[in-house]
Amino acid sequence: MAEVEWIKIVTEFFDDDKITLIEATPEADMVLIIWIKLLCLAGKKNRAGYIYLTEKIPYTDEMLATIFHRPLNTVRLALSTFKELEMIIINEAGIIKVINWEKHQNVEGMERIREMGRARLKKFREKQKQIEGPKKECNVTETFRNGIDKIRIDKIREEEEIKEVQNAISRSLGEKPGKTPLIEKAKEKAKPNNIEFDQELLSWHGIDEDIINKWIEKFPDLNVNYELMMIREHFKKNPKKSEKIPNLAIYIFSWLEKARAYKIADNIG
């Protein structure tokens, strides 16, 4: 969904009984800041009050602590308070929903923004189809030759990308570039290039439970969902980065390899 740049807070915000009860607690200021941040995140996601990283990846307490730049225990205290006062609900999947979101926000305006986001995405996809162009009729020899050339070019590009990632990880581990056998490992572990990242909506597409489970099995000492969130934040700060990556599956696998290496180094240190 397209994000919005505003949320509605009424002038009677601090007259609400629930806010008054929060103000009477020792951590009132911090909890109220987290509530405002949670409302802003809900508005940014623009999903009718639901807050999640992707439809299959909910925000964990750790993720929210990172995003809100607040201590983990304080975030947990705030979420517990909001649940107790029935300001939010968290379903079995761990997805947060702000209660009475429709009552407090301009839902019609947000729906218009969602429609604009869908229209932009549709326009982008149509533009991509135009760039690719219609398939032209040609003789069998020309078709075969063009197909071989395309396969060769795609293979070269993929190998160059893998080699670049391999060298970057090797340098981070203090090894000489080209010495770590990551090319074959990445080809073996990464799925085909069917993972996409929507830079406009800041969301993943093509990451199913099977892929997540395989990454978790390969990297049991990592929080894979947290690492995906960190990659998303990296792409958010570097908008052109994701567009230059031909195979996001290999990129994510390499990111997880690097994260595990850093974690091992930290434990040793």
Higher pLDDT, 166 or 208: 208
CA atoms within 13 A on the CB side of 68: 29
Give the start-to-end residue ranges of the domains of the chain: 13-108, 147-268
Are residues 176 and 170 in contact, defined by beta-carbon separation less than 8 angstroms? Answer: yes
pLDDT in tens, 168-218: 545 544 545 554 444 444 444 444 457 888 888 788 888 888 888 888 888
What was the pLDDT predicted at 63? 92
Q: What is the pLDDT of residue 153?
A: 55
The residue that leads in pLDDT, 16 or 264, is 16
DSSP assignments along 199-247, one per residue:
TTTTEEES--HHHHHHHHHH-TTS-HHHHHHHHHHHHHHSTTTGGG-S-
pLDDT greater at residue 177 or residue 23: 23
pTM of the model: 0.43
Pairing of strands 88-90, 203-205: unpaired
Looking at per-residue pLDDT, the higher value among 215 and 146 belongs to 215
Whole-number pLDDT of residue 242: 80
Enumerate the β-bridge partners of residue 89: 97
Task: Determine the topology of domain 13-108 in CATH.
Answer: Arc Repressor Mutant, subunit A (1.10.10)
pLDDT value, residue 187: 45
Read off the pLDDT of residues 92-130 as tens digits, 9 standing for 90 and up.
Answer: 889 999 998 876 565 555 555 556 666 777 777 777 677
What per-residue confidence (pLDDT) applies to 107?
Answer: 53
Residues with Cβ within 8 Å of residue 190, at least 6 apart in sequence: 247, 249, 250, 252, 253
Distance from first CA to last CA of the chain, Å, rounded? Answer: 42
| Phi-psi region at 229: left, alpha or beta (left = phi > 0; alpha = psi -120 to 50) | alpha
